[in-house]
């Protein structure tokens, strides 16, 4: 039933997913070993668990963006679903994908297609909120082993319905200020609109199971009417594929989509690809292969010039011929279609960058783990050396001297416990400053800084001066990030001075962890600001006058900003834990040391020969610390080599997991 050809992108995604799974497995083994050795503090353990979860569940979203009839769905079929031996996504002539469609996999949800009725546009809730109300979606079960049933179910994303002009206007598909974009009126005075607002497809396709999420968007009108697509979904995709048709070139609406929704992604993490599809329309038997190639090259160069890109950033292909070639197993036609060139670009630029980002995160994490463990080793060795020196001083001494030694240790412990007040004072100042940070990054702070903007957006009628209000709102948000950055500097300086004093007084090895880099969140805010700029132009004045649209825009904006601030808040909380966990760990080590010293003195008092036995035990424990250090260094070295591998050979993989 299925043609088993595997695209280069599919093969690379499989290797990337295997790499992620095995790194997570190895990291789990490493953290379990460190936990047994009491080398993990609470903050580091939380970060390790978070990274393990990210490695296990990491998603890779590829957004396909284009106007109608550019071949988006056919390209999705060619790249991801050719193994079914037929089209899965509807790709006939005309408008096929009528609503934004997400394809992904969630093991907790049965294979199904969920459809959100178009009438939900009349309500103020954002798409993110509708996702939390599954009973409002229409569900169609899918049989992933039956291509015919699967393709039939997917046809539902093409469904339309006839409504009055008034209804179309309310739903956002009729604009009095842009009559050229309005759908035609039929003989009964009605117009055609999509039946569904959004579609979610959950299926256990091999690529989707490996973390791929495909977003198929349905054209300018639908993108513009759903601010969340512009503010959240498309900008957060790891790749945005902008598709043009060779037989139409770059049209006015194509250029609008590019300028307002794709080029605005500059500065983000995602890669951008421009695909010139349907080049088979230029395969003219009257021309030589050289003439055809030259014509395609000119088309690509012209497209690159219009979109202000380098020539090699435009990939010419025929999705239809690529799909046909894969289904038939025709290698020559597949090569001529150009689809493999696109798959290689997708694999290398997107997956390569994603894996390198995860590898960099892992490297930073392992350095952090290793650094913390080495501080514990140093402290434990020093405690052992001091105890051994103390016990050697008891050789030949009588019971009175030993009792005095015990009393001195008890007095030292009491003094150490009284010194805890100093440590508590440090924590008190630290917590006070952190409360200010938490307040700045909280929801009430966002509402306060954006109050002028959200009020202006919700005012009825034409919005005058909205651009300046918009700029002030985002300047306010960046000001908040600036104040957080200043507080971080103050906290870091306070901790550095306090830790230095505590290290001197108690022989600790506390070290201040650098605070989270707020520049990243500043850049995220700038990306959100850019993504909404197109709505503030003169061409959108009438759209902004409609309360239902501005309510969606406001909710999408607030949701995205809240997500950025919540992420920043989480980073600050972990930074706080890094300080308190270090302190707790070293206090615990010191208290254990006092307990061991007292126990050793008691043993020496109660039995002859215990002095030499205890000194021998200390030497053995010290040797064991050396073994642990060597083991740690070996595991870290192997992990550093492992995470940089582009693929995971099974023998090495098994050896590394066993080593952990």
pLDDT in tens, 310-339: 888 899 999 999 999 999 999 999 999 999
What digits encode the pLDDT tens for the residues 442-489?
989 999 999 998 888 888 777 777 888 888 999 999 999 999 999 999
- Helix runs in 393-465, H state only: 399-418, 420-440, 443-449, 451-458
pLDDT of residue 608: 56
Write out residues in the chain with pLDDT < 70, as ranges.
Answer: 1-7, 92-97, 177-178, 220-225, 227, 230-231, 264-270, 396, 398, 419-422, 424, 534, 537-542, 605-609, 645-660
Q: Round to whole Å and give the CA distance between 315 and 294.
A: 14
Residue 126 φ then ψ, to 5°: -80, 165
pLDDT of residue 606: 65
What digits encode the pLDDT tens for the residues 495-536?
888 888 888 888 888 888 889 999 989 988 988 888 777 677
What DSSP state is assigned to residue 195? S
pLDDT of residue 660: 38
398-411 CB burial, b ≥16 within 10 A, e <16: eeeebeebbeebee
Q: Round to whole Å and give the CA distance between 315 and 324.
A: 19
Residue 65 φ then ψ, to 5°: -125, 130
pLDDT of residue 3: 38
Contact residues for 22 (Cβ-Cβ < 8 A; gap 6+): 642, 648, 653, 656, 657
pLDDT of residue 595: 84
pLDDT of residue 331: 92
pLDDT of residue 534: 67
Domains of the chain in sequence order: 8-159+195-356 (3.40.50.300), 411-583 (no CATH)
Q: Round to whole Å and give the CA distance between 205 and 122.
A: 34
């Amino acid at each position: 039933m299925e043609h088993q050809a595997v695209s280069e992108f599919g093969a690379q995604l499989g290797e990337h997913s295997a790499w992620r799974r095995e790194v997570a497995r190895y990291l789990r083994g490493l953290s379990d070993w460190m936990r047994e050795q009491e080398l993990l503090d609470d903050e580091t353990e939380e970060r390790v668990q978070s990274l393990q979860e990210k490695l296990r569940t990491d998603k890779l979203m590829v957004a396909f963006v284009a106007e109608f009839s550019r071949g988006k769905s056919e390209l999705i079929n060619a790249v991801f679903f050719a193994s079914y031996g037929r089209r899965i996504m509807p790709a006939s002539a005309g408008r096929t994908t009528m609503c934004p469609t997400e394809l992904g996999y969630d093991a907790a949800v049965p294979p199904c297609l969920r459809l959100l009725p178009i009438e939900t546009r009349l309500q103020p809730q954002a798409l993110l909120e509708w996702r939390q109300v599954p009973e409002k979606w229409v569900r169609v079960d899918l049989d992933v082993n039956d291509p015919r049933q699967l393709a039939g179910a997917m046809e539902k994303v093409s469904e339309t319905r006839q409504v009055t002009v008034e209804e179309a206007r309310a739903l956002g598909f009729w604009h009095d200020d842009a009559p050229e974009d309005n759908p035609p009126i039929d003989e009964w005075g009605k117009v055609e609109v999509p039946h569904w607002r959004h579609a979610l497809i959950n299926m256990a396709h091999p690529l989707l199971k490996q973390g791929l999420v495909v977003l198929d968007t349905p054209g300018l009108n639908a993108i513009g009417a759903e601010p969340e697509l512009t503010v959240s979904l498309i900008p957060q995709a790891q790749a945005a594929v902008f598709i043009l048709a060779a037989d139409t070139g770059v049209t006015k609406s194509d250029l609008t989509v590019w300028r307002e929704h794709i080029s605005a992604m500059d500065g983000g993490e995602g890669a951008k690809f421009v695909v010139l599809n349907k080049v088979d329309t230029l395969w003219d038997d009257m021309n030589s292969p050289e003439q055809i190639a030259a014509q395609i090259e000119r088309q690509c160069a012209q497209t690159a010039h219009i979109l202000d890109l380098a020539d090699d950033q435009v990939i010419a292909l025929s999705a239809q011929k690529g799909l046909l070639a894969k289904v038939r197993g025709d290698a020559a036609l597949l090569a001529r279609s150009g689809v493999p060139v696109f798959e290689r670009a997708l694999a290398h630029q997107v997956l390569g960058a994603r894996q390198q980002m995860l590898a960099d995160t892992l490297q930073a994490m392992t350095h952090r783990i290793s650094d913390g463990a080495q501080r514990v080793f140093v402290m434990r060795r020093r405690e052992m050396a001091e105890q051994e020196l103390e016990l050697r001083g008891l050789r030949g001494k009588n019971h009175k001297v030993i009792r005095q030694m015990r009393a001195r240790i008890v007095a030292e412990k009491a003094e150490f416990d009284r010194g805890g007040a100093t440590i508590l004072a440090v924590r008190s100042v630290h917590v006070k400053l952190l409360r200010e940070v938490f307040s700045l990054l909280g929801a009430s702070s966002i509402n306060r800084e954006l109050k002028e903007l959200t009020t202006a957006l919700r005012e009825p009628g034409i919005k005058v001066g909205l651009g300046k209000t918009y700029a002030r709102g985002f300047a306010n948000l960046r000001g908040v990030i600036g104040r957080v950055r200043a507080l971080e500097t103050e906290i870091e300086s306070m901790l550095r001075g306090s830790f230095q004093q505590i290290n001197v007084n108690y022989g600790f090895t506390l070290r201040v962890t650098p605070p989270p880099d707020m520049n990243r969140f500043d850049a995220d805010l700038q990306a959100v600001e850019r993504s909404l700029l197109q709505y503030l132009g003169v061409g959108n004045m009438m759209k902004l006058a409609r309360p239902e649209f501005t309510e969606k825009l406001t909710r999408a904006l607030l949701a995205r900003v809240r997500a950025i601030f919540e992420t920043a808040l989480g980073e600050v909380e972990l930074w706080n834990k890094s300080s308190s966990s270090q302190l707790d760990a070293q206090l615990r080590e010191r208290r254990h040391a006092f307990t061991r010293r007292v126990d050793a003195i008691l043993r020496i008092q109660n039995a002859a020969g215990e002095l030499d036995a205890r000194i021998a035990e200390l030497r053995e424990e010290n040797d064991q610390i050396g073994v642990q250090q060597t083991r740690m260094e070996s595991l870290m070295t192997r992990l550093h080599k492992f995470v940089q591998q582009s693929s995971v050979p099974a023998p090495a993989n098994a050896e590394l997991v066993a080593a952990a």
